[in-house]
């Protein structure tokens, strides 16, 4: 199975900060990577697919980059509604696998 490792596992940031979350795959996955946002007691929300393509309706302050094994999710200016847990997921190979999550908390 492909292991997905996110870093950091948690971070504290202030409104307006630029935030970057890293995701590393244990083997190359081309650009077959998605990012999700999950708030407590809610379903995940799709943010990005194909490593860098924003889902419809997702604010442009979110961006994704990378290919192969190393990927990043960037929030250019953190907003109050962005405090949540973020997951990466590879869909290059079965089984689909997720990173362990990165919790973004208020500083």
Taking residues 49 to 88 in sequence order and writing x for each that binds another protein by CB under 8 A, - otherwise, the string is: xx----x-------------------------------x-
Binding residue (CB under 8 A) for another protein from 16, 80, 94, 107: 94
**DSSP conformational letter for 69:** T
Q: How far apart are CA 70 and CA 27, in angstroms?
A: 10
Tokens found for residue 27: 């083997």
What residues are paired with 74 via a beta bridge?
20, 63
Q: Kindly list the residues in this chain that would bind another protein in the complex (CB under 8 A).
A: 32, 34, 36, 38, 42-46, 49-50, 55, 87, 89, 91, 94-101
């Amino acid at each position: 199975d492909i292991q997905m490792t996110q870093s950091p596992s948690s971070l504290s940031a202030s409104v307006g900060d630029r935030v970057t979350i890293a995701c590393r795959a244990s083997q190359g996955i081309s650009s077959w990577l998605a990012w999700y946002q999950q708030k407590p007691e809610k379903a995940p929300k799709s943010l990005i697919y194909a490593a860098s393509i924003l889902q419809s309706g997702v604010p442009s302050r979110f961006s994704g980059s990378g290919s192969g094994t190393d990927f990043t999710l960037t929030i250019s200016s953190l907003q109050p509604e962005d405090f949540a847990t973020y997951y990466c997921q590879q869909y290059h190979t079965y089984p689909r696998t997720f990173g362990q999550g990165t919790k973004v908390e208020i500083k």
